[in-house]
Structure 1
């Protein structure tokens, strides 16, 4: 298995503060029962005011390195793939994270991403290790602090009220003999590209007194009805298509999947996806106590499932995600010895 790439370790970090469904409902003027049942959210973690994306990522990665006895100096590359909203504008988090972790021999790289982050990051890092096996290992880190980008008074953005904060880390190694990372697949539909964004702060609408007064520095949806109608038509078929594509590249089929690690979404869509994939509900993670954390979710779900004994040796794990832009993506991991 000298050319195989494996997921040697994972770890996560969740901020101490937990915002309950009742508190979210009160802020958004939505009944608590709707938050719990329709949004599928019992609560979510929220970062402290002085706890930023780089801090969250360092906390998750430090846990990984410590738990598995990994020498930071042995890491070949550090890749940040989390939320695009970081400590500073026009700034890379990866070099700062690598420095704070003591990964002195790693080069740092990042690609700003949104909710499809985990399967895309796994695909990217696997390709990088295949091309450059002498790197030895790649430390993937992602974090999200997008709870601070929510305006609970803006009904257009209510589908994002599940956004919470947290971080995850994963260590990919070359020449692996367990937890092999197999195939990946993705589909992009750019017709949704301008629907979800923070309207102000970029070059199209630079920050100004008017943009601040107009609360245009929070997440917003340009046309909620058009976005919903468009996504309702294509989301489920695209989720299934990327799953099938990643499995085909892994020499497997839908019926071979043992466990699903997806992103947090409304409960009805989650249930439709689980049914379409032919899985029992108990074999799919549902992050109703954390909410959605940009690119963090699927790897966090896998880390928690492994720690809880829900994923065991021999399981074929499907990591499935979609992100505004709009991209659907999937990657496959065979857990346990090769």
Structure 2
């Protein structure tokens, strides 16, 4: 299937918080540090005090613009994906980033669909370009910062949370890192998993750090424990299914995938994803995940940025940007180097 519009990524950039050694810092976050260490992460990144999503997003965006030789006035649209607790409620983070970048009246879009926000935004950008012939360049920025008032970065799930941002200049007609297709699978039965329990209008007050998210997942299946085992098995199978769906949509075979960039999950989970998809573990982001930890919706663009900066992407390579997010949903975008 031919895409309705040709677009590719003309530049990539990323920023990270200060590196922290997992083994050294885990005891300050959890009572059972060995559990976290077994996940296989070596380093996570923590933003300096006072550095929020807006600043990190703007810093990554400026680096991407510089890499492309562009000025803010060259951008026709800004898309900001933010998977963390927002800096303020009832507030448009995309407009805040636009203000930092001095984009003037450039239109913006804020994507807040958890860890899927940035990868699926490439399809939204394709849609924008398909219906708006005046849009030539879109600046896509993905940012994640763990709010340690709301979330314990080592206890929220089985990923270790990191702070950082990645940015991409997406350009109409650009042939490198060309978008081919995007697909999603959503199972809304599990929409309540891993949510921030308190602080919204449904439950304004409460201590989020006292909430055991994994215990809530187990409680969901308490009457049918066999379904918990099936759910765990289905997580990897759904990743494989959404990758296959994206390949069919793009008219390519999944056997062509040279690199699978999944979310920066723990090493056990990444091994399961590699097995389910048939992509060798060494062609996934497993090694990079141990170095970066989970930067929310920025994972895939950040890994792509790192691989590109290291000249580890060969012309013609088919790259799958895939993952799992709250909702729950599985997603995949294919790009051709």
Equivalent-residue separation in structure 1 for 2:282 and 2:190 (angstroms): 32
Equivalent-residue separation in structure 1 for 2:210 and 2:110 (angstroms): 24
Equivalent-residue separation in structure 2 for 1:159 and 1:261 (angstroms): 18
Q: Are 1:77 and 2:77 an aligned pair?
A: yes
Q: How does 1:1-338 map to 2 (within 5 A)?
A: 3-32=5-34, 34-36=35-37, 38-146=38-146, 148=148, 149-151=150-152, 157-160=156-159, 162-207=160-205, 211=206, 214-215=207-208, 220-221=213-214, 223-225=216-218, 226=220, 229=229, 231-286=231-286, 287-335=289-337
Equivalent-residue separation in structure 2 for 1:188 and 1:272 (angstroms): 20
Q: Secondary structure at the match of 2:115?
A: coil
* Residue deviations 1:114-138 (CA, integer Å, cap 9, x gap): 1122321111112211221311111
Shift of 1:41: 0.9
Q: Which moved more, 1:124-133 or 1:60-69?
A: 124-133
Equivalent-residue separation in structure 2 for 1:64 and 1:219 (angstroms): 38
Q: Secondary structure at the match of 2:44?
A: strand
The alignment of Structure 1 onto Structure 2 pairs a total of residues equal to 325
Shift of 1:24: 1.7
Sort the Cα spacing of 1:105 and 1:73 in 2 relative to 1 into closer, same or farther, 3 A.
farther
8 Å contact from structure 2 (residues 57, 143) kept in 1: yes
Question: What stretches of structure 2 of length at least 5 have no aligned partner?
Answer: 222-227
Equivalent-residue separation in structure 2 for 1:219 and 1:59 (angstroms): 34
Question: What stretches of structure 1 of length at least 5 have no aligned partner?
Answer: none
8 Å contact from structure 1 (residues 259, 317) kept in 2: yes
Shift of 1:17: 4.2
Sort the Cα spacing of 1:94 and 1:219 in 2 relative to 1 into closer, same or farther, 3 A.
farther
* Residue deviations 1:154-174 (CA, integer Å, cap 9, x gap): x6x3524x0111101111111
Shift of 1:203: 1.2
Shift of 1:152: 7.0
RMSD: 2.3
Q: Secondary structure at the match of 1:297?
A: helix
Shift of 1:47: 0.7
Shift of 1:265: 1.4
Equivalent-residue separation in structure 1 for 2:56 and 2:70 (angstroms): 19
Sort the Cα spacing of 1:234 and 1:139 in 2 relative to 1 into closer, same or farther, 3 A.
same
